[in-house]
Amino acid sequence: MMEPENDTGISQFLLLGLSEEPELQPFLFGLFLSMYLVTVLGNLLIILATISDSHLHTPMYFFLSNLSFADICFISTTVPKMLTNIQTQSRVITYAGCITQMYFFVLFAGLDSLLLAVMAYDRFVAICHPLHYTVIMNPRLYGLLVLASWMITALNSLSQSLMVLWLSFCTDLEIPHFFCELNQVIHLACSDTFLNDMGMCFAAGLLAGGPLTGILYSYSKIVSSIRGISSAQGKYKAFSTCASHLSVVSLFCCTGLGVYLSSAATHNSHTSATASVMYTVVTPMLNPFIYSLRNKDIKRALKMSFRGKQ
């Protein structure tokens, strides 16, 4: 039996988007443009606050500024192309553009996950080993943790994208999504996708299961330490230092898990595309609000920045 011929003539895919109804397109354009601008502005303000205020030059805020940068890049891989397609009334994305979008989406999704795990470890050290915090979380260590997160996700994203380049595609080039989602693209291929599926499973275990396990372990230790604190005020102070992070972790994990569980249950691509808006667009938009509204240091730094004080 002959293997499918590698079609080198593939030059573009078609992104079907969230809706094919023409009357909905202006609403979707306005909605996603607003969400994109809010996300970029909110996360830029977090980065500005952490850079401008010397009191925020700590591991926790260093990780937070990296998370904000990752969120800006994460949403920028998908929404601008979606807005362009709506505005030009075109569904086309080039083959090279699709692979590039896929690479950066996988990169920043994985980076978000690893950074949240690193931030959980930071809170674990701060609460469970407060006397040794400055020794353990030294600049060299937290710099290496962020560098390692970037390298792991970059290598994973590169390997996933290269494996897609090996696939051959036939005539059905419609992606029922608003961006080139890895799983959707792989399932359009005519050739055998066993290695791709195994690669996705391995990556899911490494970049989703691994960080989630680390986060759960860190918080189990944190809860045990907080329970050992005698005063109610001490308990509240200890918990408040990780409340924002716990809120972001819950939002990111619950929305991401909900998307894949719903898509597995319904097998409806448009339902999956709509649900994926939660973790690809809504979560990066809400993160700066969660951190700024619940964090007095961030609010103080932002006020000082706008007043022009050092």
Sheet strands (E) in 59-143: 92-94
Report whether pLDDT(98) > 60: yes
| 175 vs 93: CA distance, rounded Å | 10
pLDDT, tens digit, for every residue of 188-220? 998 889 999 999 989 988 888 899 999 999 999
pTM of the predicted model as reported, rounded to 2 decimal places: 0.89
- Angstrom CA distances, 211 to 44, 53, 110, 127, 149, stand at 25, 30, 10, 19, 11
Query: DSSP string of 122-171?
Result: HHHHHHHSGGGHHHHS-HHHHHHHHHHHHHHHHHHHHHHHHHHHT--B-S
pLDDT, tens digit, for every residue of 146-185? 999 999 999 999 999 999 999 988 877 899 889 999 988 9
pLDDT, tens digit, for every residue of 16-65? 888 888 889 999 999 999 999 999 999 999 999 899 888 889 999 999 99
Query: Distance between alpha carbon 229 and the CA centroid of its chain, in Å?
Result: 34
Give, for 15, the enclosing helix (H) or strand (E). strand 12-15
Asked if 301 contacts 53 with a C-beta cutoff of 8 angstroms, the reply is yes
pLDDT, tens digit, for every residue of 118-127? 999 999 999 9
Full set of structural domains in the chain with CATH: 12-307 (1.20.1070.10)
What local confidence, expressed as pLDDT, does residue 6 receive? 43
Report whether pLDDT(110) > 70: yes
Residues written for the chain: 310
Report whether pLDDT(108) > 90: yes
Say which residues have a Cβ less than 8 Å from residue 141's Cβ, sequence separation at least 6: none
Tell me whether strands 12-15 and 92-94 are parallel, antiparallel or unpaired. Answer: antiparallel
